[in-house]
Amino acid sequence: MTDMDKDIRIIDIGTEIPDTKVELCGITLDNPVIPASGTFGYGYEFAELYDINCLGTFSFKGTTLEPRFGNDTPRIAECPSGMLNSVGLQNPGVDAVITDELPKLRKVFNKPVMANVSGFSIEEYAEVTRRLSESGSSDMIGWFEINISCPNVHGGGMSFGTDPAMAGEVVKAVRKVTDKPIIIKLSPNVTDIVSIAKSCEAEGADGVSLINTLMGMRFDLKTRKPILANVTGGLSGPAVLPVALRMVYQVANAVEIPVIGMGGISSAEDVLEMMMAGATAVEIGAANLVNPYASRDIIKALPEVMAGYGISTLRE
């Protein structure tokens, strides 16, 4: 039996089941599906609905040094084929994540988790990463996803993700405090996303994830004012998929490090399309907010959809 034969599982009736495994920065995932940060909490909430160990992994809620309540409400607005959000990185702070959230997650999730880190300064990115790396729960963390692309906070996040030099400085600072793989989450709200990805790669990033939300806004015709208290918010959902595919394709053809593709994915077909654009794995965002079973259902559908297109393994 060849190695390829070993990779293809056989069911009772002899039908070959496509292999959904992928490798992300040296860690093997059972499938490429990763619920995106901010749409899956700290995981255990969804574990009440289904066994979340079916996931490739997930990226937990964006975590900052200090607790954050987030932006004023209203901070969600519906749109055709998508939604706007301006939650503003609401989270309990890194120390509470270490003492409360990760021990609860350990009880329901037995795979490496992706730790999403946000910040308002280079020093904060590094300090949050350091505390997580040195904590008693560090064994649970497989990757750090460093969010330099949040459009919903003032004075932080995206300000680092719109300048190649600043993005590189964040990578350098975080690289000094952890040996775990670093994945930099990039903003689409830039003129040239490729130059930012290449700067991150040059400074030691192990991967990049893209795209974060596109900036947008909506008005209430009755009040004649913006719907969101923050005025603008991040657009996500199916409407952004073509933009995400274009940017993932551009970046994947410009860097040697893995690319995680996200933006509007809501079906197994979307997963394959994003991987054809060059993504090693994918993140599912807004779909989880519409249907809490979305990621699970996409994983269930993936082998059959792969077989329908003659794809035997995603590692092709």
Please write the tens of the pLDDT for every residue from 234-272. 999 999 999 999 999 999 999 999 999 999 999 999 999
Question: What average pLDDT does the segment 17-22 reach?
Answer: 96
Q: Does residue 8 have a pLDDT over 70?
A: no
Does an H or E element contain 76, and which?
A: strand 76-79
Domain assignment present for 5: no
pLDDT bin (cut points 50, 70, 90) of residue 150 is low
Domain assignment present for 12: no
Q: Residue 175 is part of a domain; what is its CATH number? A: 3.20.20.70
Mean pLDDT of the chain: 91
Closest Cα partner for 172 from 142, 201, 208? 201
Residue given tokens 């309990």 in the structure block:
92
Question: What average pLDDT does the segment 33-59 reach?
Answer: 96
The residue ranking higher by pLDDT, 74 or 273, is 273
Could you tell me the residue range of the domain that residue 143 belongs to?
33-304
Q: Does residue 153 have a pLDDT over 70?
A: no
Domain assignment present for 136: yes
Domain assignment present for 10: no
User: What was the pLDDT predicted at 158?
Assistant: 53
Does an H or E element contain 145, and which?
A: strand 141-147
Catalytic residue list: 150
Q: H/E/C letters for each residue in 175-241?
A: HCCCCCCEEEECCCCCCCHHHHHHHHHHCCCCEEEECCCEEECCEECCCCEECCCCCCEEEECHHHH
Domain assignment present for 42: yes
| Domains in the chain, number | 1
Domain assignment present for 231: yes
pLDDT bin (cut points 50, 70, 90) of residue 15 is low
User: What was the pLDDT predicted at 315?
Assistant: 81
User: What number of other Cβ atoms are within 10 A of residue 116's Cβ?
Assistant: 25
Domain assignment present for 207: yes
* 65 half-sphere exposure, CB direction, 13 A CA radius: 12
The pTM is what?
Answer: 0.91
Domain assignment present for 315: no
User: What was the pLDDT predicted at 70?
Assistant: 82
Q: Does residue 66 have a pLDDT over 80?
A: yes
pLDDT bin (cut points 50, 70, 90) of residue 6 is very low
pLDDT bin (cut points 50, 70, 90) of residue 306 is very high
pLDDT bin (cut points 50, 70, 90) of residue 88 is confident
